[in-house]
Chains A and B, each alone.
Chain A
């Protein structure tokens, strides 16, 4: 495909040339296209109002007879559960930590976007919508994104009312900053701990409902299976889950009128990521295997400013705020021989400030994916620094000279301290070393406009769904999406579904319940019985290396094909040679991890298949075969302007089935990104 630059310097792809797609490849089959049947039409700014008005309501007196299970109590799950509890439903919640306040949302640093336009700098709901669609590289739905931008303003009001201590100006009003390469200041923040403060707000609202008796919380409970029961018309509905009590090992079933999954992202498929140790795909993957479509699994966000790996014992990676790139200069030695030298001994002329050189107008502030890939190329070239040659310098010497050390300290002091604590090096004296790391996944369970999956009665919210970010997420937009889903979207759309309930009660000995429980028990026993020679972590690490190498920052047909083969071998290795000590009837952290890794092994394969199918570069997905002459990502809108929604094959060993949901852009014109 060719591209034609237009007057603004953006590049407009030429008209579609007609889609070509095979119905079956070596790795997948093609299913029917899908459409989001819940999405309203009409003017975009009216769609959400129309949907809410069209939604059926549930009589307040009936609500306490209706039960909803919410799995996951991070920002998305806690906000949804609290709000549903306030509305009077019977809610039961689950999380794997010992308290809902420890969900991974707690680690978000930078901030949360909202189109308040408090700065009078030209922001608006429309601009936030526009930036998000464009940032997502035209792979997100317009209707969803517009709604997200609309409710963003309510989120800030809600959080302030709960007592979230956002940063304020001297006049006592809320402060904002600009974040993630946008030109307006629309990010609300609480020092470097925005996620923590937002989660504590949602957590307190949740605890209030627990005290009120509307919500029952189950901590240290992990969901291991979904229960589907056909209704009188034969429609399979999500009616419950099977969980394991992580303290006693007891397998429990819980049934209800609807199930919400808000279980977070699956970045730990790479083993090393900025996610929490326990972040997993088990809940979403189990739902997928029961029929829920998994959408865009290959869309991964890799963050450029993380602290590099220091050794093979490394258990996770730590993100440092991207704001560091405002004043730090990124470089590598020009000569490979200098890579081992003390950076302070490398002369100015022997340094390559490669981002400033390649992208003179954006320099060190190019978007996350570009900065990440550029660092990879330098290291591939042998110019990387630090352990394993996997690092580039982020240098503040100029900033310290220009602004003075106190100013740099005031701005970045806590980040510098964190770096010093982890690496044992003083970043005021010696340039920092940074390297990209997996940070966020845009993919997740497919949901319609109502956040309902293709399984009736199964809803999905937060990072666990695929809904709003397309192929790439803008900074400070995940917190916004989680809370939009939980406080404002789900409580309305779920009500529409629940208006048809209460459904027939499901007995504990219903065949579907027994079958699900049995499947869980057998799987646990199977893992415990293998008693092989490989530890769970060693297999997880190996999977991570395969994913990082072949399905990381740059993907190619050759690499992905190879990865699929390697992952299949590793799946086999797991099920024949893993060693899980102990029993089920106790707190058994090895068993917990084994179950998660078994699911990651299957998800990793699907991610590679998805990446292989998408023969274009877009957002967080870069295919080596699809780039411009000067190495920039090249989208193919004629062929790939669709959501890939994957159906799990019914037969063991069958090929996954790809359903395409075509994407149409009525409001924002599809353009190619250009940062040169």
Chain B
């Protein structure tokens, strides 16, 4: 099929960017979205032009490296990662807009590539359980009710892609932050640092310039891993508890 793509081209962080149209004459419906971009890049290279920079690595929907805004929707029209979207979702003659994540805290590096370093820094601020190597007790000495373990696992499946931020009108990273709070907060091992974790992570979240959550829910709708909105309620409960204990303490 014939596809026209309008791609955001931006030489580097300082330059101004713009949308540039390209036409692809032979797109197979079996191609993945990123394979379609590979084909475009081969074409551009042979013409002596600079290929489009975009991030991807696993191309299996698990590493969270890929992610662009497709026709205004982070990761495109299906609830999945960009790398798992296939061209059969589109039809002959379609025009597709492709842009990078738009968020102040994710500056554009080049074309469709953005800097998501803020996510790592939120984790550094408390998104872990302190368990130095060698200090662990026998694993089955810590039984975890299956329901808690399953819920913790679901929250832990966040791939840190950033679609939630790109989808949020406030540019908030609350869903990402809450997924980690939920994962670790549901486990007995995570209890000792529960207060310091939520305080540290939320403070870092705000310091990075991410916006506040006003319960719009666009994040969950765009999340390829279906991280639920109630993780944010859990974060808020933990935060209130921690703040009150901090005041009392």
Contacts and interface: CB of A to CB of B under 8 A. Distances in A.
Interface string A163-194: 10111111111100000000000000011010
A168 B186 CA distance: 14
B90 interface: no
A165 B63 contact: no
B124 A97 contact: no
B35 interface: yes
A87 to B, nearest CB: 9
A184 B143 CA distance: 22
A157 B189 contact: no
A205 B157 CA distance: 17
B45 A581 contact: yes
A211 interface: yes
24 contacts: A79-B133, A86-B133, A101-B160, A103-B63, A107-B63, A158-B136, A162-B189, A163-B152, A165-B149, A165-B183, A168-B150, A172-B144, A172-B145, A173-B143, A190-B153, A313-B28, A313-B31, A313-B36, A421-B86, A422-B84, A537-B42, A581-B45, A581-B49, A589-B53
Contact of B146 (A154, A172, A219, A313): A172
A196 B125 contact: no
A471 B200 CA distance: 48
B58 A163 contact: no
A86 B128 CA distance: 14
Counting chain A residues whose Cβ lies within 8 A of the other chain, the interface size class is 35 or more
Given A173-B143, A174-B139, A538-B42, 13 more contacts: A102-B64, A104-B63, A157-B138, A168-B149, A197-B153, A204-B129, A310-B30, A313-B35, A313-B38, A315-B59, A421-B80, A581-B44, A587-B110
Contacts, number: 213
What is the predominant secondary structure among interface residues of chain B facing chain A?
loop
Contacts of A491: 133
Interface of A: 79, 82-83, 86, 97-104, 106-107, 116, 118, 154, 156-163, 165-174, 190-191, 193, 196-197, 200, 203-205, 207-208, 210-211, 217, 219, 247, 276-278, 310-311, 313-316, 318, 421-424, 487-488, 491, 533, 535, 537-538, 579, 581-582, 586-587, 589-590
Interface in B34-72: 34-36, 38-39, 42, 44-46, 48-51, 53, 55-60, 62-65
Given A313-B28, A316-B59, A587-B113, A579 B45 contact: yes
Nearest to A163: B129
Contact of B187 (A163, A173, A582): A163
A587 B57 CA distance: 16
B197 to A, nearest CB: 11
Contacts of A422: 32, 84, 86
Interface string B122-149: 0111011111111111111011111001
Nearest to B123: A207
Nearest to A196: B62
B115 interface: yes
B187 A99 contact: no
Nearest to A165: B153
A205 B160 CA distance: 17
3 cross-chain pairs, A with B, having the tightest CB-CB distances, nearest first: A172-B143, A204-B128, A161-B136
A538 B131 CA distance: 47
Contacts of B130: 208
Nearest to B114: A98
